[in-house]
Structure 1
Amino acid sequence: MGTRDMPLPRLYELLHGQDRDRWPPEARFLAAAHHGDVRKIKKIAKELDVQGRGIPATVASTTYMGMNALHAAGGRGRLPAYEYLVEEVGMDVDKPDTAQAFTPAAHAVTNGCLPAIKYLVNHGADVRQQRSKGNITLLHTAALLGYSEIVEFLLSRGADVDAISDLGTPLAVAALRGYASIVKILLQNNADPNKASCQFGPLTLALQKSSVSCMKLLIQGGTKVSCDNPFDNPLLKAAEKGLTEAIKCLLEAGANPNVHDTFGRLPIELAAEYGTREDVEILFPFTSPISSVEKWSVDGIISHVKMEIKQLEDGNFVKKRMSDLKRQADEAFKKQDYPNASLLYTQALKMDNFDAKLLSNRSLCWLRMGDGQRAFDDAAKCKRLRPKWAKAHYRQGAALMFTKEYDGAYSALSRALELDPESEEIEKLFWEAMELRLSEKGCLSR
């Protein structure tokens, strides 16, 4: 258990020992608020009121470790404490603490206190409030922690069912945690199953959790099952996880079994490596023949994948094969045969998926073929592998220029120029990005 998840009294015990009489009075004050003990709150406030401002003023102004009494009251969610603090003392129901930017309602949701949440909302708490850190709403928190009754209440009071945060939408959060009951509630309240702010949609997140029940609900709710993005392809994820029932459902719903992952593998190849023979048999009738598989059959695919795995364990074979693939890919690129070049770079990446140069080269192939998203994805991975390599940032900037995301392109190319100030190629694209960025914002006349 981390300190963020720890009840306040337990945290104070770790900091100050178990003898509560030795705690700072502010700590004892917030512990009393945590337990909803109004009598004790007043008693300790009187002890703290050295300036004679009165108990209500002292209660309202006393804080400890960034929290006030109304934040701490969310520990048990006892209504008498809320009634005293809000109606008598007049404390702000939407004021965030300075430790985690949690409002009183956010504390109440975190602790699963539905009566407290109802009280706070009925007394003016903003049901659509977003934390400054990550834009997380009360609904995100309730979905993340599996509080279905709180989810229903918040939606009934106007919470934004499709609110975007750093975690994605509430639906994406519930799918990732595998909470089928909450996925169902959100879909019944018209949550968009295809909306996501992160790299993965709700369907892929549900499969990441191996939640077939969430997957079925999302398909019934109208989620898209076919996706060309290798990072967000549900059939690839189901095959990789060996989820036989999920594979069947996705194929019935129209999922495309001929989309490669980032290393050039089809769902049927992943099924042969990670799943069962049944998975391969299910995918076989829907999969287009793979040229490198000598005998196109279920047994042929399984043998092919097993042989590939065995070959990858042979260092000498890998070294020679990598050299041949790189040479062939470079030759294809020089001939402007970008589809074949990208395929060869992909085959090489299957043998070494941490080769930043291969990712950089394949990113350029995607760009020449007009696929800005894949060009960006490869450049982003290349940058993660070699964050101080100018070309990685340049590739990302070029991809963003193609997709007309000029702010991001400007930032990426600015960093590339910092790392390689002598590059005329980078400098030229940097100035182009700057002009387009300013023009888009109306700062330059056309």
Structure 2
Amino acid sequence: MAPDASDALAVRQKVQLFLNSAQSGNLDLLKKLASQLDDGKGIAITVADVKDANKRGALHFAAREGQTEVCKYLLEDLKLDVDTKDEDGETPLIHAGRQGHTETSKYLIERGANPSIPSDLGATALHHSAGIGNIELLKYLLSREADVESQSDAGTPLIWAAGHAQPDAVKILLEHNASPNAETDDSITPLLSAVAAGSLPCLELLIKAGANVNVIAGGATPLHIAADIGNLEIISCLLKAGADPNIADEEGVKPILVAAGRGSHGVVEALLPVTSRIESIPKWTADGIIEYMQAESKHQEEESKLQSSTAREDNALENRSIPEVSSEAKKKAAEAKSRGDEAFKRKDFQTAIDAYTQAIDFDPNDGTLLSNRSLCWIRLGQAEHALTDAKVCRELRPDWPKSYYREGAALRLLQRFDEAANSFYEGVKLDPENKELVNAFREAVEAGRKFHGADEKKTT
């Protein structure tokens, strides 16, 4: 091996050991390696510059593993930025909060960490503490004025708590005036999330707080979701709270037919007395309705097989040749991206699209630009454009979880729920700790089961 290559390999190995020492809490080794890596810029600057491929530095790794003593050295001795962001816009506090490291999270906030800073997907430490049911950290964050209505791509902290069946977290958030009817861009509410999670305690708390039991998301009501899952307790609770069993989805399907399509005899019997008769069904009995829906399901399955064989080509991407990009072009792309970021913050999505398009023209290899433009298209409801950008982003960066999230979000907007679930799941496999992807995957699966009337697609 040439001397230069050998030296570069040695540096890479030291960098990996350095980040591992931050993660494992080996402070003595971390200090030793920091001195060895310093090329004259000073230990603080050297340590701040050492990052992995996802732009995560020592502080991110230490926070993620709850290594408070390492965090103290990095923040108090080296004066590192407590709110430094990685490639996904996640701060050390977000990493600590997601893993449930309460003491480390408290320490970071005491050192000036801003609990309201979101990741690129909008999630804050409050979202994560709500999702995992970390009550101590949840209360602490709220006491430090964390925004209880902060919106991530997967909803508010209350939606996270309900969707992960965390009734204690739901109770606390409601006590802090979290809206029981907050919605995501896809009209998902805390109540819908609680029903999808099968959490009766969360559902009861939300109903008591005034949650709408007849909310509609993607054409489905909470009763549709409960009927699909087959949870009699939740169905009973919804009916007592005023859920209307005669609301049909956009395909004209009532909750009782959803249950019948799943073969849930008990649910069909529970809904039968409160559902108006459907004249097209010859035998208006539990057995008769189930027989009718099973016959319909077979017919739809045969049609679906015929259509799917001719539709796959439409999703294929043409092979892209990747041109070289000069440093001057990259600089201009960065300037255009900055304009796009500012426009996005103002919610001027069309201006942001124009700026990102200019940036892409200068640097077509940068998947981040396509991800950003895809999100803008979603905000404008232009799902096809969003999907096109997301697919190219995924091709450019197949190891980046966010590219799969963008693709799934566009497919979800197009109501291609099974495909969306597949995209989200691919992202989950890359980053199993990403709650946004996990939430999105589960919601897409539930929506797919409802709309397509087929067996839930099991992914292993």
The alignment's TM-score, normalised by the length of structure 1, stands at 0.61
User: For residues 45 and 299 of structure 1, what CA distance do their matches in structure 2 show?
Assistant: 72
Q: CA deviation at 1:62?
A: 3.4
1:131-171 per-residue CA deviation (whole Å, 9 max, x = no partner) reads 2x212211122233443332222122111111111111112
User: For residues 32 and 312 of structure 1, what CA distance do their matches in structure 2 show?
Assistant: 57
**% identical equivalent positions:** 38
Of 181, 184, 201, the match for 1:197: 184
Q: Which amino acid is the alignment partner of residue 293 of structure 2? A: V
1:295-314 matched pairs, under 5 angstroms: 295-298=283-286, 300-309=288-297
Does the 8 A contact of 1:239 with 1:275 survive in 2?
no
* Correspondence for 1:149: 136
Pairing 1:163–2:142 present = no
Does the 8 A contact of 1:226 with 1:233 survive in 2?
yes
Of 217, 240, 261, the match for 1:273: 261
Of 140, 159, 168, the match for 1:172: 159
Q: CA deviation at 1:259?
A: 1.0
* Correspondence for 1:237: 225
Pairing 1:252–2:236 present = no
* Correspondence for 2:123: 136
Judge which range, 105-114 or 276-285, deviates more: 276-285
Of 214, 224, 230, the match for 2:202: 214
Task: Provide the secondary structure at the position in 2 that maps to 1:231.
Answer: coil
Does the 8 A contact of 1:225 with 1:254 survive in 2?
yes
* Correspondence for 1:63: 51
* Correspondence for 1:337: none
Of 54, 59, 72, the match for 2:61: 72
* Correspondence for 1:261: 249
* Correspondence for 2:72: 83
Pairing 1:39–2:41 present = no
* Correspondence for 1:289: 277
Q: Which amino acid is the alignment partner of residue 103 of structure 1? A: T
Unaligned runs of 5+ residues in structure 2 are 1-8, 312-378, 387-460
Pairing 1:120–2:104 present = no
Rate the CA distance shift 1:262–1:32 in 2: closer, same or farther, 3 A. Answer: same
Of 80, 86, 96, the match for 1:108: 96
User: For residues 283 and 170 of structure 1, what CA distance do their matches in structure 2 show?
Assistant: 32
1:164-196 per-residue CA deviation (whole Å, 9 max, x = no partner) reads 111111121222222333223322322111101
Unaligned runs of 5+ residues in structure 1 are 1-19, 319-348, 357-406, 416-446
Does the 8 A contact of 1:241 with 1:275 survive in 2?
no
1:69-91 per-residue CA deviation (whole Å, 9 max, x = no partner) reads 22222143233222221122111
Q: CA deviation at 1:222?
A: 1.6
Q: CA deviation at 1:60?
A: 3.8
User: For residues 62 and 306 of structure 1, what CA distance do their matches in structure 2 show?
Assistant: 60
1:388-409 per-residue CA deviation (whole Å, 9 max, x = no partner) reads xxxxxxxxxxxxxxxxxxx948
Rate the CA distance shift 1:412–1:136 in 2: closer, same or farther, 3 A. Answer: closer
Q: CA deviation at 1:248?
A: 0.8
User: For residues 231 and 78 of structure 1, what CA distance do their matches in structure 2 show?
Assistant: 46
User: For residues 297 and 44 of structure 2, what CA distance do their matches in structure 1 show?
Assistant: 71
Higher relative contact order (CA 8 A, sep 6+): 2
1:39-70 per-residue CA deviation (whole Å, 9 max, x = no partner) reads 2222112212232x443443344334323222
User: For residues 160 and 124 of structure 1, what CA distance do their matches in structure 2 show?
Assistant: 16
Q: Which amino acid is the alignment partner of residue 141 of structure 1? A: H
Does the 8 A contact of 1:259 with 1:266 survive in 2?
yes
Q: Which amino acid is the alignment partner of residue 142 of structure 1? A: S
| Greater Cα radius of gyration, structure 1 or 2 | 1
Q: Which amino acid is the alignment partner of residue 15 of structure 2? A: E
1:3-52 per-residue CA deviation (whole Å, 9 max, x = no partner) reads xxxxxxxxxxxxxxxxx99962222222222223332222112212232x
The alignment's TM-score, normalised by the length of structure 2, stands at 0.59
Q: CA deviation at 1:256?
A: 0.7
Of 158, 167, 173, the match for 1:186: 173
